[in-house]
Each structure stands twice: as structure tokens, then as C-alpha cells.
A and B are shown apart, each in its own frame.
Chain A
Amino acid sequence: MTTPAAAPYPSEHVPTTGIPNGKLGVWLFLASEVMLFATLFTTYIVLRMAAPSWPAGWEVLNVPLATLNTVVLITSSVTMVLAYAKACERDRAGFYRMIGLTIALGFAFLVVKAFEYGAKFHHGHFPSTDIFYAVYFTMTGLHGLHVIGGIGFNVYLALWAREHWEHPLFIGRVEYGGLYWHFVDIVWIFLFPGLYLL
């Protein structure tokens, strides 16, 4: 009698969908995230349409700092996809370099954001100040939480790689972490003109 097979790793090859379950799961999660941010954008549209006056973002927000953060986040997206490329090429040192850069750029984004928030608080602008700042802090704050979450998963990937570089699911997880990180980048790509430039 053969011993029952140990529970296998969920295969990356799923004949029914042709898509690894992990990837389908991440895309479903991102779909729900799109809806979450879309409700906030809709709220912003409705509040702004209802307001007889609304400050232009560039009048009250720090456009140079936000531009810098846009470049930081785009660069981190590139290093993330390069980390995936290095994982595929089985270049371990290259992977650590790229995932490390991605994590560092994520922190850099948060530091710049903290300076921005600090300046606003210093001038007495809080989420409760008016609807404009309520929208600004809610949207950028939720996005900031997503950056923190992404940094957390990327740190997990870097640590997991030490023991599980050869793990059959390793490259897939790097790819899924990347999907999330690029999504966070895309949200910022819309937040930046939406809040700061219009």
C-alpha cells in the first residue's frame, strides 16, 4: 500500500483556470481595492461638485514634494519588477539588492509624506479643518497605509528568500507582491494629479 501523498504545495499549474490560484486571488483582492479607492474618489468628486469654492491643490499643497514622491514611487515599482526579474534569473544577490531598494524607496516615500503632513499640522491644517483637508488626509492616509502594508510584504519576501530561495512558490510570491506594489503605485499616479494639480 502506498502512503498517502503529503499535501502538495498548491501547484502553479491549475488546469481549470490556467492561472495560479495565488495570482487569481491577488487580482481579486486588487479588484476589491480598486472599488475601495473608487468610492473615495467618488466622494471627492461629489464633495467638490457641491462646493461653491474649492482650493486648487497647487495653491495649498506642496507640489515639489509630491512630485519627488511620485518619482520615488515609480522608481520603487521599477526596482520591484527588477527584483522579480532577478528572482526569475536565479540571481540571488541581485534579488536582495532590488527588493532592498524597493523597501528603502517605500520608506523614503513615507518620510517625505511625514514631512508634508508635519508642515500641514504645523500650520494648523488637520483632517477636521475643512472638507478639503478631510479629503486630502483620508485619501493620502489610506494610500500611506497601503505603502506600509507593501513594505511589510516586501520585508517578508526578503526574509523568506533566505531559507526558501529554492521554494517552488518563491518566484510566484515575488510576482504577487509586485502586483500589489504596482497597484499602490497606480493609486498614487491618480492621487497626485487629482489632489495636487487640479
Chain B
Amino acid sequence: MSSAADTARHQPNIPLYLGIFGALLVLTVVTVLVSYFHLPRLPAILIGLSIAAFKASLVGAFFMHLKGEKALIFALLGATFFFVALLFLLPFLDSRAISEQQVTYSGEKAASTGHAHVP
């Protein structure tokens, strides 16, 4: 093996991987336990997604070796997350129009919307 490739490679750390495994299992249990409290929607979303984001960052940092990765990869991911954030925020700019659509989850128009063009 060429030494250049060897030095560029992320050194595996098995005890660390197993530690992260334990943390991910604990966080999964916490996520499920919190959901049994049936919290109001906003705290439930915030807690659920915060734990998910933390789990994802553990997987990214240690299993995908983003910790210690080159700046170019972070630039690439930064651009990606910028557009993801844009995509997530766009609907909220128009949230009033969306909620006025009043589409039931079964796909039918709700009867009580009272649109202006109804005679």
C-alpha cells in the first residue's frame, strides 16, 4: 500500500464506534419514550427532530468520518443544507394560503372553506 493513501485514510476506532452505537440506542429509546407522553404538537416536533438531528450528526461525524474531514466536503454539505433550509422555509412564507386550502387528509375539499367565488 502506498503510504500517501494510508495517511489520508480515516483511522478506524472500534471502541469509539461501539460507544456511538450505545448512544444511538439510548437516544432511540428516549425518542420513543417521549412520544408516549403525547406532548402538544410544537414541543413534540422540536424534541423529536432535535434528537433525530443529534443522532444524525453522531452518525455523520463518526461513522461517516466527517470529524476530521476536508473543508471541501463541508463546503459541499453547507451548500446542500442551505438549499434544504430554503426548501423547508418556503412553504411557511405561504402558510396562510396553504391552511386556507383546507384539504382534508383524505384528499377531499372540506365543505366549510367558504370560497369567495361561491355564489
Contacts and interface: CB of A to CB of B under 8 A. Distances in A.
Interface string A48-71: 111111111010000100010011
Interface bin, chain B? 35 or more
B35 A51 contact: no
A50 B17 contact: no
Interface of A: 11-13, 17-20, 23-24, 27-28, 31, 34-35, 38-39, 41-42, 45-56, 58, 63, 67, 70-71, 74-75, 77-78, 80-82, 84-85, 88-89, 130-132, 168, 171-172, 175, 178-179, 182-183, 185-186, 189-190, 192-194, 196-198
Given A78-B18, A193-B52, A50 B63 contact: no
Judged by DSSP, the binding face of B is: helix
Contacts of B28: 67, 70-71, 74
A186 B48 contact: no
Contacts of B65: 175
B5 interface: yes
A78 B21 contact: yes
A27 B84 CA distance: 16
Contacts of B103: 47, 50-51, 131
Interface in B95-109: 95, 98-99, 101-107
Given A67-B28, A182-B59, 15 more contacts: A11-B5, A12-B5, A27-B77, A34-B81, A38-B87, A42-B87, A45-B88, A47-B105, A58-B35, A77-B24, A80-B63, A132-B105, A185-B63, A186-B60, A193-B35
Nearest to B110: A52
A67 B24 CA distance: 12
A154 to B, nearest CB: 15
Contacts of A51: 103-105
B105 A190 contact: no
Given A168-B1, A193-B52, A20 B8 contact: yes
30 contacts: A11-B5, A12-B8, A13-B2, A18-B8, A20-B8, A24-B76, A28-B76, A31-B76, A38-B87, A38-B88, A46-B91, A49-B95, A50-B98, A51-B105, A52-B102, A53-B104, A75-B21, A78-B18, A85-B17, A131-B107, A175-B9, A182-B59, A185-B59, A192-B52, A193-B35, A193-B51, A194-B52, A197-B35, A197-B48, A198-B48
